A and B are shown apart, each in its own frame.
Chain A
Amino acid sequence: MSLIDAIVQRWQVVVVPAAVFVAFLLFALWLRRLAYRAMERWAKQTQWEGHSILVAATRLPSLLASLIIAVLLALEVSILADGGKALAARVSWSLFALMVALAALGLARGLLRLYLERFNASPRVVSLSSNIATVTAIVVSLLTILELWGVPTGPVALLIGIGALALLFAFRDAMSSLFAWFHLSASGKIKVGDYIKVESGEEGYVTEFGWRATELEGLDGSTVIIPNHKLTQSRISNYGRPLKQAAEPFRFYSRLHLKELTNLKARTLRDLVATLKTAPDAVVYYHTHNFLEEHHYLTPEPANDFAVWVTDALGNEALGERLASLDTFEFSTLALLRDRVVDIIEEYLARNPDSREALPGREFHFIRSVSIVLPLQYVAHDLREFVEVLRNVSVGSLFFHVFESRLRIGKGFNDFSVWIEESLGEPELAAAIAQLDPYNYSLEGLRSSLIQLIEKHVK
């Protein structure tokens, strides 16, 4: 009997498995199509960008998997011996596992690339993540296949687990930096171009936001590299994007002073007022600012030298108080300030013919202030740079830009306000700083107030 005769005689031996194969394949393909359509609708609704990746990654593996299951079912209903069926089942499930791994791998790589690129990850990071996904897919599918073929996988899995743990331990900082990077990227709290300040003091513009570390460029041009896991453990102030750039940068100067003796002295109020009338501006400046400068650590600030001398050396507390309460900030020139001091003393003398004399050695000595102005290396192009310099610059610089430029150099305004208005075009902030009465603060207190005003404005 020929093979054909045998098939004709027992037609159901062939037809039944073939029918099962065809029926399941059609059912599976119909189901697959339904699934893809449902997914497409959902992707449209949610505008999920990963849809095309999902389709591309699963199209072929799902078709092949349908075929494999169809073949497996057909063999199950065939007349094949039990041993043959078992072998065919193992082969089929192994191939099925490979298809699943293939689909998962395609999907993982596609999604990783999509999301990592969205967070501006470098190509190195993308390729590293893809490699990790590939290795994981290969290992999992191999373990599954070995399990299907009855090979004991426990020891292998244990070995892999131990190896993975060892790797994790060895690269724990790198791993925690990676997780920190995922966390910070996902939350969108830090981006390249932001100006950040870390609790531990490092600050600057973010120039690179890598998976291991974040690179900052400081205002002085220095580069600081901070591991990401440190970033998540610290308090970070993010000032956002760079601010408005000034038309002209602000160049900081400092000022030192030397005391020049004039040989002029006063023993009585009349001597004081007579000499003061003709004293040069630099003398008026010295005696209205010296106490403030030499005792700038004291708050509230003690008054001018005239008030101190009248109180301490002449014992005239009433006039001393009157002179001490003189509001230096009201005057835009030293000549006006001098006239006011002279007026106060003359008004007093007109009503009280005071003839008190200072004891020998306690005369009022007129001193002239010689200013030496020197440029500093600090330059600010925007308010953030400005405030950072302001934080660190010497009190001599504050003195020059706030007190000296206003009164002695005769600008009428402090340098900071002028720059903020003219070069930065921020008149409100300029006015707020100009209104600040520097004579009411210690120099450090003035520094803090200026910083607070500017920081509030920047935020």
Chain B
Amino acid sequence: MVPLMVQLGLDARWNVIKGNDEFFAVTKKFHNALHGREEAITRDEYALFLEVNRKNLDEMKLHGDIMFIHDPQPVALVEKRGELGGKWAWRCHIDVSNPQAEVWEFLRKFVIKYDGAAFSAPSFAQTIPIRQFMVSPSIDPLSDKNRELPQETIDSVLAKYNIPADKPIITQVSRFDRLKDPVGVIQAFDLVKKSIDCQLVMAGGTATDDPESEVVLKEVRERAEANPDIHILLIPPGSDIEINALQRASTVILQKSIKEGFGLTVSEALWKAKPVVASAVGGITLQVKNKFTGLLSHGIEGTAYDLKQLLSNPEYAKWLGENGREHVRQNFLITRHIKEYLLMFLALYHPEETIYL
């Protein structure tokens, strides 16, 4: 995003804080705690967090009219606000609506020193006495994950994973994690399969920091073993073109999460004009307006019902897919994202509801 801002004429710079393994172990704990998981964080660990932030403040040559700090890790850089001046904004990329109280209280002291904060969805925010803006994340249409692909590439990926192209393909792209309900996906597929001959592709990696991930993958493989129409693909990180090709080869794309952050994979699917069936959780409801840009479901039976509807009615599926692509084009591309950041910077200088430039 910084190169695009520079092209727009802004003197935008991106600085990265430095930290040792211990610091990142602490921030990982913070991350989990903000997601609501119970984490025991010692006084020394809080001290280490502050110490690394302070050290970075001393080493970094920060200057600018607007300081835009991303994520909790460098949140304490705001301590230098008095000295550096300018406007300060904090970007929160995660859902902090239900955090572990102690960690949030610790971070909140810093957050409220900013002029404003940006959250990805209204449900991700916290009650804080500073202005909060909603800035949804976005996809880059020119990246490997989203750009147009030649048919040969798509065919070669299908061939690589032995997926025949003669049957409709239902795909869910997500890591093997209980929160993505992979077993539920197979159950819904089994219900669809009773009346429609189709195949299921589940593509993703395992979460390295989650030991349960391997267990889930094993369980999913066992469930899928008996059915040759279920393809479980463990895709290594960085295989964006392969994910892109699998999405483009799909007839319907599924995102049956039980809990979700923003769930940008939905926008990635919609950008490819694919009809989507997704759970009504997290940021998905912002991307899928039920029956306009996709179908929202709640349970296994509902998901199966929606999948059958789309597989049996290709015209309806096509209409939803095209609406979905247009919805992403208007609201979830990187260009909209930059526009909102710039507007937010303006709003930091103007408290009024209508700003005349």
Q: Which A residues have a C-beta under 8 Å from some C-beta of B? A: 256-261, 263, 265, 280, 282, 291, 294-298, 302, 308, 312, 359, 361-363, 365, 367-375, 408-409
The 9 listed contacts between A and B (C-beta, < 8 Å) are: A258-B347, A260-B134, A297-B330, A361-B285, A365-B123, A367-B122, A368-B353, A373-B355, A409-B354
Chain A residue with minimal CB distance to B344?
Answer: A258
Is A261's CB under 8 angstroms from B289's CB? no
Cα–Cα distance between A297 and B281 once the two chains are bound (Å): 25
CB contact between A295 and one of B292, B298, B343, B347 (< 8 Å): that residue: B292
A363 to B296, CA, bound (A): 16
User: Is B119 in contact with chain A by the CB < 8 A criterion?
Assistant: yes
CA separation between A49 and B151, bound complex, in Å?
74
- Interface positions, chain B 89-106, Cβ under 8 Å from A, are none
Q: Enumerate chain A residues within 8 angstroms of B353, measured Cβ to Cβ.
A: 280, 282, 368-371
Query: Once the chains bind, are B323 and A256 in contact (CB under 8 Å)?
Result: no
In the complex the two chains form, what is the Cα distance from A296 to B285 in whole Å? 18
Q: Which of A265, A368, A375 has a CB less than 8 Å from the CB of B357? A: A375
Across the interface, which residues of A come within 8 angstroms of B123, CB to CB? 361, 363, 365
Q: Please, which residue of chain B has its CB at the minimum distance from the CB of A309?
A: B285
- Which residue in chain A gives the minimum CB-CB distance to B122? A365
The distance in angstroms between the C-alpha atoms of A362 and B97, with both chains bound, is 13
CA A257 to CA B354, docked complex, whole Å: 9
Q: Are B339 and A256 in contact (CB under 8 A)?
A: yes
B327 at interface by CB-CB < 8 Å = yes
Chain A residues with CB under 8 Å of B296's CB are 312
Chain B residues contacting A361 (CB-CB under 8 Å) are: 123, 280-282, 285
Which residues of B are found within 8 Å of A375, using beta-carbon distances? Answer: 357
With an 8 A cutoff between CB atoms, is B110 at the interface?
A: no
Interface string of B281-305 (1 = CB under 8 A from A): 1100100011011001010000000
Judge whether B68 is part of the interface by a CB distance below 8 angstroms.
Answer: no
Q: How large is the interface on B (under 10, 10 to 19, 20 to 34, 35 or more residues)?
A: 35 or more
The answer to whether A297 touches B323 (Cβ under 8 A) is yes
Given known A-B contacts A256-B343, A361-B281, A302 and B355 have beta carbons under 8 A apart: no
A sample of 8 more A-B contacts (CB under 8 A), given A257-B343, A259-B134, A260-B133, is A258-B347, A294-B330, A295-B289, A297-B330, A302-B292, A312-B296, A361-B282, A368-B353
A222 to B289, CA, bound (A): 45
Q: Mark B264-292, 1 if CB is under 8 A from A, else 0.
A: 00000000000000001110010001101
Assuming the contacts A258-B340, A312-B290, A373-B354, asked whether A362 and B133 have C-beta atoms less than 8 A apart, the reply is no
Complex: A370 Cα to B351 Cα, angstroms: 9
Which of these, A294, A312, A363, A409, contacts B327 with CB under 8 Å? A294
Complex CA distance for A77 and B241, rounded to whole angstroms? 108
Whether B343 and A297, one on each chain, are in contact in the complex, defined by CB atoms closer than 8 angstroms, is no
Measured in the bound complex, the distance between the Cα atoms of B346 and A372 in whole Å is 9
Question: Is B14 at the interface (CB under 8 A from chain A)?
Answer: no
Residue from B132, B331, B346, B354 within 8 A of A260 (CB atoms): B132
CA distance A295 to B285 in the complex (A): 14
B134, B323, B327 pick with most chain A CB within 10 angstroms: B134
Task: Name the residue of chain A whose CB is nearest to the CB of B354.
Answer: A371
Contacts of B223 in A (CB 8 A): none
Nearest 5 Cβ contacts at the A-B interface: A365-B122, A259-B134, A261-B132, A374-B357, A258-B343
Q: Which of B312-356 contact A (CB under 8 A)?
A: 323, 326-327, 330-331, 339-340, 343-344, 346-347, 353-356
User: Chain B nearest CB: distance from A306 CB in Å?
Assistant: 14
A362-B292 Cα distance, complex, nearest whole Å: 18
In the complex, how many angstroms separate the beta carbon of A297 from the nearest chain B beta carbon?
5
What separation, in Å, do the CA atoms of A312 and B340 have in the docked complex?
27
* Cα distance A265–B128 in the bound complex, in angstroms: 14
**A393 smallest CB distance to B (angstroms):** 17
Given contacts A308-B289, A362-B280, contact A373 B134 (CB under 8 A): no
Q: Is the Cβ of A261 less than 8 Å from the Cβ of B119? A: yes
Task: For A370, list chain B residues within 8 Å (CB).
Answer: 343, 347, 353-355
What residues of chain A lie closer than 8 Å to B298, measured between beta carbons? 359
Q: Given A258-B340, A361-B281, answer yes or no on A297-B326 (Cβ-Cβ < 8 Å).
A: yes
> Which chain A residue shows the least CB distance to B353?
A282
B186 at the interface (CB under 8 A from A): no
Q: Which of A256, A363, A374 has the most CB of B within 10 A?
A: A256
Complex Cα distance, B344 from A370, in Å, reads 10
- How far, in angstroms, from A318 to B97 measured CA to CA in the complex? 32
Inter-chain contact A372/B132, CB cutoff 8 Å: no
By a CB distance below 8 angstroms, the chain A residues around B128 are: 263
